[in-house]
Amino acid sequence: MSFDLVLFGGTGDLAWRKLMPALFQAFRHGTLPAGGRIIGVARDDLSDAQYRDLIRSRFDDVELAKRPTPEEFDRFAGLLHFLRLDLSQPADYGRLAHMLRERHAETVVMYLATAPDLFTRVCQQLAASGLNRPNTRLVLEKPLGHDLASNREINEAVRRAFSERQIFRIDHYLGKPAVQNLFAMRFGNALFEPVWRREHISNIQITIAEDLGVEKRGAFYDKTGALRDMVQNHALQLLCALAMEPPINAHADAIRDEKLKVLRSLQRWTPMMLDQHVVRGQYAGGNVGGREVPGYREEPGVNPDSRTETFVALRAEISSWRWAGVPFYIRTGKRLAAREAHIVVNFREAPHAIYETPPGSWNRLVINLQPRDGLQLHMLAQGQESRRNGPVLAPVHLDLDFDKRFGSERVGAYERLLLDVIAGRLNLFVRSDEQEAAWRWVEPIMEHWAGDARGPRPYAAGTWGPSASSAMIARDGFCWSEEC
C-alpha cells in the first residue's frame, strides 16, 4: 500500500526523539508498507539531503540497539523528503498539495506534531487546499486543549475539516505492549474474568513515576502540570482498560464505547472529596544519588513563584455494579524515587484463614509498563517453616517478563500506533467524546486548585511525593505498593 506521511513539525523534538526512530524500526522490521514516503515539513530552509543528514545525526541519541547501521540508514533515507512550509502561509499548503498530487498515494497521513494551538489553523488550511480528501488521515498529539471548553473548540474545528473516522487522537500509552497485553489478559483468557470485580478486588493502584525533573520542558510544563500532562489522558486511559466491560467485538467503536461508559461512571467530585481524595505536590531541590538537583521553581523556563503541580495522587471510584466501593488510586509525578510505571491489582484476603500468614496483602497482580514489561502474580505458598498450630505460608510470585518471552525486538508504542494509522485501525486511538468525558471529570480539580491558597505541597526530590499521598490511601486502610 503506497502512503505519504506528512510530518508537521518535522524538525522538532517529537519528530526526531520518537517518530523517526519508530518509523525506522518499522522499516527495519519490514512492517512499514512498501512504496512509502515520509515528508518532513517545517519553517527551516533545508534540502532533502540536509534533512536526511539532520535525522541521521539525531540517531546518535537513540539507544544503541535501535540505531541504524550506515547501510540501513542509507536505505531508510530514501523515504525521507523535506518541504519548507510556514503554517501561516496559505500558498505553502498549495505547494504541499502539488507535491502530494505528483504520485497519488493510496493513503495520506497528516501528523500534527505541533503545538495544539496550531491545530485549528492547520486543519482550516488543509481543507482550503483540498488536502482533506477521503484517503487522508489526521493524527493529533496531546494535549488537546487545556480544559473542557478549549478541547471542544479544537475538536469542533477539526471536525469541520475531517470526519471523526479520519481523526486519530494519539495517546502513546495505549500502544505500549504491556497495555496491549492487559487487554489480551482480560478479554483473551477466562482465568481472571470471574474475579475481576468488587467481590474479589480490594483496590487498584496506577503509578506513573519519573525520576527526572522537567529538564528542558520547563516553559511548556509550567503551563500544563501533572494533572493535564498525565492524569487527564494516560492515567485515565489505563483506568478505562482496567475497568471497562468486555466489548461485543474487537472493533474500534465497540472498545471505545465501553471506555466511555467507565469515564461517565466515575464518581463526581464534591468539595469534601476534593480536599481529602486529591493531593498535589511540587518537587524541591536536594541531593539525589550524590548529585544536587534543582527544585522545580529553579528549573529553566519556570516561574519562580509557580504553583504548577509536578505530582498528583488521587482516589477515584466507579459507580457500577462491577466496581462499586472499590477505590482506584492514581499517582504520577516527576523527581520521584524511580522511573517506573505499573498497575497493582490487590485482591481481597481469603475469607477464612486456616494458615498462619505474614502481615500484609500478598494476593496481587502487578502489571509492569516501564522500564520492565510484564506481569507478576503474587501469592502465598507453604514454606519450610512450621509451628505448633500448623505450617506458615510464605510469599512467592510468578514472573512473566515479556521481553524475555517474546524477544527484545518487540514493537514499540509509537511504531505500533504509526502502523495502525497507515492501516486505518482506530482501536488504539481516543474518540472525541472520550476526551470530553475525561476533561469533564478533571475540571473540578483544576477549579478547586485555582481557589486554594495553599498551593502544591513540597516534596523532596528522590522520594515518592508528599506524605499526604500516603495519608490519603491510609485512610482506607491501604498503602502504596512500596510501603506495604
Q: Kindly give the interhelix angle for 148-159 and 432-450, rounded to the nearest 10 degrees.
A: 150
For the cut 70, the answer to whether the pLDDT of residue 431 exceeds it is: yes
Q: Concatenate the DSSP letters of all residues of 287-345 into one string.
A: EETTEEE--GGGSTTS-TT----SEEEEEE-B-STTTTT--EEEEEESSBS--EEEEEE
**324 vs 266: CA distance, rounded Å:** 10
**CATH topology assigned to domain 174-411+433-474:** Dihydrodipicolinate Reductase; domain 2 (3.30.360)
**104 vs 37: CA distance, rounded Å:** 11
Ligand-binding site membership of 142 (annotated): yes
Ligand-binding site membership of 210 (annotated): yes
Q: Given this model, what pLDDT does residue 387 score?
A: 64
Band of pLDDT at residue 388, cut at 50, 70 and 90: low
**282 vs 333: CA distance, rounded Å:** 9
Looking at residue 60, the DSSP 8-state letter turns out to be G
For residue 283, list its beta bridge partners.
Answer: 459
Ligand-binding site membership of 404 (annotated): no
Chain segment 265-306, per-residue pLDDT in tens: 999 999 999 999 999 999 999 899 899 999 999 999 999 999
Chain segment 97-123, per-residue pLDDT in tens: 999 998 889 999 999 999 888 999 999
Q: Given this model, what pLDDT does residue 38 score?
A: 98
Chain segment 143-199, per-residue pLDDT in tens: 788 999 999 999 999 999 999 999 999 999 899 888 888 888 899 888 889 999 999
Residue ranges of the chain that CATH labels 3.30.360.10: 174-411+433-474
> Residue 256 in 3-state DSSP?
helix
Ligand-binding site membership of 43 (annotated): yes
Supply the residues annotated as catalytic. Answer: 234
User: Pick from 192, 172, 170: which is nearest to 180 by CA?
Assistant: 172
Question: Are 287 and 460 spatial neighbours (Cβ–Cβ below 8 Å)?
Answer: no
> Residue 369 in 3-state DSSP?
strand
Average of per-residue pLDDT values in the chain: 93
End-to-end Cα distance, the chain: 53
Strand order of the β-sheet with 167-169 is 80-84, 36-42, 3-8, 107-112, 136-140, 167-169
Chain segment 8-28, per-residue pLDDT in tens: 999 998 998 999 999 999 999
Task: Pick the range with the lowest mean pLDDT from 213-227, 235-249, 402-416.
Answer: 402-416
Q: Percentage of the chain surpassing pLDDT 70?
A: 97
Ligand-binding site membership of 18 (annotated): no
> Residue 207 in 3-state DSSP?
strand
Ligand-binding site membership of 334 (annotated): yes
**393 vs 379: CA distance, rounded Å:** 10
Ligand-binding site membership of 61 (annotated): no
Residue ranges of the chain that CATH labels 3.40.50.720: 3-141
Question: Are 166 and 136 spatial neighbours (Cβ–Cβ below 8 Å)?
Answer: yes
**CATH topology assigned to domain 3-141:** Rossmann fold (3.40.50)
**118 vs 43: CA distance, rounded Å:** 14
